């Protein structure tokens, strides 16, 4: 997804749109910096950094829990279900050696 044909520019974008762009670019399998992702998508690097932090948090949460939906009448109830210890161990071991970013919250 390049700036010219992606629809990404330097104007403000919703987080969902930026997140989809980050995931799309990362699917290529080519390692890249946040700065490079920022240039490709045409958005501020702080926005890309925030999206990466959100994705890492989701990834870490889904190692231990899985999302379940259940229909109750006309509504859907969404919940987290704890994964088995064995599956958690396998999922965690697949992440070993991967760099996990930890951001400190700014107190601006």
104 belongs to a structural domain: no
74 belongs to a structural domain: yes
Instruction: Provide the domain count of the chain.
Output: 1
Domain holding 71, by residue range, is 3-95
Q: Which of 44, 33, 47, 36 is nearest to 1 (CA)?
A: 36
> Cα(34)–Cα(17) distance, rounded to whole angstroms?
16
In this structure, what DSSP letter does residue 75 have? E
> Cα(27)–Cα(14) distance, rounded to whole angstroms?
20
57 belongs to a structural domain: yes
Structure confidence by residue, pLDDT tens digits, 63-81: 889 899 999 999 999 999 8
**Which residues of the chain are under the pLDDT cut of 50?**
1-11, 104-108
46 belongs to a structural domain: yes
Q: Any idea what the CATH number is for the domain that residue 36 is in? A: 1.10.10
Q: Is 34 exposed, middle or buried (0-12, 13-18, 19+ CB in 10 A)?
A: middle
């Amino acid at each position: 997804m390049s700036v010219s044909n992606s629809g990404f520019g330097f104007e403000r974008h919703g987080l969902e749109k930026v997140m989809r762009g980050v995931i799309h670019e990362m699917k290529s399998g080519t390692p890249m910096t946040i700065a490079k992702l920022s240039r490709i998508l045409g958005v501020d690097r702080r926005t890309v950094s925030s999206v990466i932090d959100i994705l890492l948090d989701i990834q870490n949460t889904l190692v231990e829990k899985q999302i379940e939906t259940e229909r109750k009448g006309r509504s859907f109830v969404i919940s987290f279900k704890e994964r088995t210890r064995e599956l958690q161990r396998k999922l965690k071991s697949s992440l070993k050696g991967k760099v996990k970013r930890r951001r400190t919250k700014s107190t601006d």
